[in-house]
Amino acid sequence: MSPRPHRARYVAANPGISGMRPLGGRRTHGRGHNPAIVLMLEEYEALRLCDYEGLNHESAAARMQVSRPTFTRICTSARFKMAQALVEGLSVDITGGNVVMRSDQCVCPGCGAVMPHRPGVPCSQQVCEHCGARMTRE
């Protein structure tokens, strides 16, 4: 039997950068260059939701449309990769993975009105123009 296919993970948007390189130091491995850690897009999204936005695993898993245990595995893998890059002075490339880009909109749970998400402002701080309810992220 073949393994179960992975479901696509929902990601808000592509990150603003494609990776990071360490400053200073001349540590090299193998052929005179630093290998790169590949941080998949779903791992980046897990770090963004959990560590940057401060969501709990259950809420973040719902945003990515995966189970909570799956989200925890993704987050653990991302944290290990970032720790390894910091400790060993490795580059980080953000790419790949089985992801679907979500539309970046806030939705009113009361009337269904949609408005564009403003970066840096949680949807819950925006109020629906039609019914006055607090918006949620689509």
Cα-trace Rg, the chain: 18
pLDDT band with cut points at 50, 70 and 90 for residue 54: very high
- 137 versus 125: the higher-pLDDT residue is 125
**Verdict on whether the full-model pTM lies above 0.75:** no
Answer whether residue 75 shows pLDDT above 60. yes
Q: Could you tell me the two tokens for 5?
A: 């296919």
- What integer is the mean pLDDT of 70-92? 96
Coil/strand/helix, residue 44: helix
Neighbours of 42 (CB within 10 A): 25
pLDDT score for 129: 85
pLDDT tens sequence across 3-49: 777 778 888 878 889 999 998 765 555 455 668 999 999 999 999 99
Residue ranges and CATH numbers for the domains of the chain are 1-102 (1.20.140), 104-138 (no CATH)
Give CA–CA dist 101/91, Å, rounded: 25
- 95 versus 105: the higher-pLDDT residue is 95
